Amino acid sequence: MQEEENQEDSIPESEQKNEERKSKGVRIWKCFCIPSEWFKMLSREMHWSFVFGVVVVYGISQGLGGALAGVGTKYYMKDVQKVQPSEAQVYAGITSIPWIVKPLWGLLTDVLPIFGYRRKPYFIFAGMFSFFLIFVQMCWIY
């Protein structure tokens, strides 16, 4: 009697494992299908040439351009400036801070309008702040 119950319990466990494997396969497949479906929808809505242009421009400017700039920067830091790799990573981290803050800045401008404007005051503030920093550097150097 007990053996029959154990056999009945073991059958659903193996089926459950098979279902879990199938669901993992489906999830992995969806990771590839969802972006392609999104590109198809975007192509229908905007036009395929627009989607192609955006992919090419961003791929060239950020992918290839970033890679080539990285090679030149690494060479310059290593051979010309004699910077240690750990110090070079610190500098790379510092220069990536604006890209890290960019989503937060976008969220701030969308959520917190100033005088009823969402982005214009922030652009004016950023321009004035940049001018001030350049002026300080100019006075400090000379």
Give the tens place of pLDDT for each residue, 53-108. 888 887 777 777 778 888 888 888 889 989 998 898 898 889 889 888 888 888 88
Is 113 a member of any domain? yes
Is 46 a member of any domain? no
Q: Which two tokens stand for residue 114?
A: 């100033």
Query: For the chain, how many structural domains are there in total?
Result: 1
- Which residue range is the domain that position 141 belongs to? 96-142
Is 111 a member of any domain? yes
pLDDT in tens, 1-37: 555 555 545 556 666 666 666 666 677 777 778 888 8
Is 7 a member of any domain? no
Residue with tokens 């001018």: 131
Is 22 a member of any domain? no
pTM as predicted: 0.45
Question: Which residues, at least 6 apart from 9, have a Cβ–Cβ distance to it below 8 Å?
Answer: none
**Within its chain, how far is the Cα of 75 from the centroid?**
26
